[in-house]
Amino acid sequence: MIILPIPTIDLSDPDFTTMGLEDPSEIYRPKPPTFALDKAMENFRDYENLGEDMSRVRDTYYKMHKNQTHHFACSQREKYKPGIVGEYTIMEMMSVVAKIVDESDPDTSLPNDIHMYQTAERIRAAYPDLPWFSLVGLIHDLGKVLALHGEPQWAVVGDNFVTGCQLGPNVVFGLPSFAGNPDVSDPRYSTKYGVYSPNCGLDHVITSWGHDEYMYQVLTRNQATIPLEVCT
């Protein structure tokens, strides 16, 4: 019998990554910001000056605002009440959402797994004393797996808005994007407070359905141990 010695690995060795072991955080860790050279900070999330290649953003929001009624938002919560679309490890989920490009995002066409790694790394750099925060950055878009389980992107991605009452003036693409949504002319949902009472609190508000709300439901129903402020 020949016994081979177990090699000692020095993690500080700069040649460590050449040993065939790849650290995903090194692969996806974003470089220091260089976007200021061609895109100023105030030009991010600019929905008024979309190029032709970003027409998908407008189309997605218009479909969302037409179809996301109060009834739809409530029915989706009931549909996903068990909180399960499958059983995955986190890394398996990362691989699944890598197949998704968010059609509502005007600033990137990268697959979602890269976006999530980048978000986690930026948070880790900015808030090194809050390790749970970078974890939240890593998992924040995992709910987009719904797009691979039969849901159209208008029911998964994009910014949320409160349903069941008068729409706010700052909603993306404004009130014209809600043309065709029956709630706009329904007296139950078109007044200032709609189905709610003044100062009822966010716990009693029904937002449009999407990946954020789905992940909120998954985390709270499974008693996640991350700080409560993550889910507020």
Instruction: Find, among 54, 58, 30, 64, the residue nearest to 211 by Cα.
Output: 64
165 within 8 A of 192, measured Cβ to Cβ: yes
Give start and end residues of each alpha helix (H) in the chain: 24-28, 55-67, 70-79, 90-97, 112-126, 131-139, 211-221
pTM for this model (two decimals): 0.76
**Mean pLDDT (whole number) for 140-152:** 91
Q: Give the dihedral sign, CA 109/50/145/100.
A: negative
SS3 162: strand
The rounded Cα 154 to chain-centroid distance in angstroms is 13
183 within 8 A of 70, measured Cβ to Cβ: yes
Tens of pLDDT, residues 72-97:
999 999 998 876 667 788 888 888 88
Q: Which of the pair, 38 or 109, is modelled with greater confidence? A: 109
* pLDDT bracket for residue 42 (50, 70, 90): low
- pLDDT of 1 > 50? The answer is no
Give ∠ CA 65-68-72 in degrees, rounded to 5. 170
Q: Rounded CA gap, 125 and 127, in Å?
A: 6
Phi, psi values for residue 70, rounded to 5°: -60, -40
